[in-house]
């Protein structure tokens, strides 16, 4: 059952204060979501399409591709607001030593800023 036409007609009949731009955004978002679902459902149903797509992905991403048949909701296990209890206790018990060590690195600040974030560029002012 295809409700795409029905959905677009409903958008055009709205009597609220939405501008044409807002209506077009809603339509584009709805169409994008429907297209994604259609594509994903087709891939799920068609073994040949799935194999073809995974072949392309393996070619691009390498042999370590893992295909899951369920959604993965990633979230950090530990955060600054909820740290790992053992690591927090270890670091907290030696906080002054860690602080002293980290502050001692500041005397090398001028050298640290010369190190590029891109490893291929190396260190400024030095030969490779």
Alpha helix segments (H runs only) across 13-104: 20-45, 47-61, 85-93, 95-104
Task: Write down the pLDDT at residue 42.
Answer: 79
Task: Write down the pLDDT at residue 37.
Answer: 83
Task: Write down the pLDDT at residue 72.
Answer: 82
| The model's pTM | 0.36
Task: Write down the pLDDT at residue 40.
Answer: 77
Task: Write down the pLDDT at residue 75.
Answer: 87
Mean pLDDT by runs of 10 across the 128 residues of the chain is: 52 63 86 84 80 83 76 87 94 94 94 81 68
Residues 6 or more apart whose CB falls under 8 angstroms from that of 27 comprise: 8, 11
Task: Write down the pLDDT at residue 1.
Answer: 46
Q: Do 14 and 23 contact (CB within 8 A), yes or no?
A: yes
Task: Write down the pLDDT at residue 15.
Answer: 56
């Amino acid at each position: 059952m295809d409700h795409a036409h029905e959905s677009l007609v409903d958008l055009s009949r709205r009597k609220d204060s939405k501008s044409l731009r807002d209506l077009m955004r809603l339509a584009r978002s709805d169409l994008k979501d429907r297209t994604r679902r259609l594509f994903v459902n087709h891939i799920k149903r068609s073994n040949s399409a799935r194999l073809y797509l995974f072949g392309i992905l393996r070619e691009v991403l390498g042999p370590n591709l893992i295909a899951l048949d369920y959604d993965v909701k990633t979230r950090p296990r530990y955060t600054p607001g909820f740290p790992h209890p053992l690591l927090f206790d270890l670091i907290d018990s030696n906080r002054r030593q860690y602080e002293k060590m980290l502050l001692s690195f500041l005397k090398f600040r001028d050298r640290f800023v010369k190190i590029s974030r891109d490893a291929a560029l190396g260190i400024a002012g030095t030969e490779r």
